[in-house]
Amino acid sequence: MNGRKRSDPTTIDTVIEVKGCYWHGCSQCGYNDEWHLEKRQRDATREAYLQEEGYQVKEIWEHEFEHGGAVALVSMLAEGFQEG
Ligand SMILES: [Zn+2]
């Protein structure tokens, strides 16, 4: 790999993260205290790592599921395949 990031356009490397609003500190649902900020920071660190490894990270929050998120998930997947 010569130390280069993977950029093979035929490879689909999409990570879909489904996040519980409470457990991942969803700001839209008002989880903004220190404990939740820590969770968000931890996720951000992990996602930055995945992106460095050449993955696309897409996230779906629990509250989006409650408002037709399943549809959003399918369209995100389709989008990911098209991009690949
Ligand atoms: Zn939420």
Give the model's confidence band at 13: pLDDT under 50 very low, under 70 low, under 90 confident, else very high. confident
User: What pTM value is reported for the model?
Assistant: 0.64
Give the model's confidence band at 70: pLDDT under 50 very low, under 70 low, under 90 confident, else very high. low
Q: Which of 4-8, 13-17, 39-43, 58-62 has the highest mean pLDDT?
A: 39-43
Judge whether 8 and 84 are in contact, CB under 8 Å: no
Ligand 1 centre to CA of 10 (Å) is: 33
Domain ranges of the chain: 14-83
Which neighbouring-strand residues pair with 18? Answer: 60
Q: Please identify every residue whose CB atom is under 5 Å from ligand 1, which is an ion.
A: 21, 26, 28-29, 61, 63
> What is the residue-wise DSSP string for 5-61?
PP--TT---EEEEEE-HHHHT-GGGT--SHHHHHHHHHHHHHHHHHHHTT-EEEEEE
Ligand 1 centre to CA of 55 (Å) is: 24
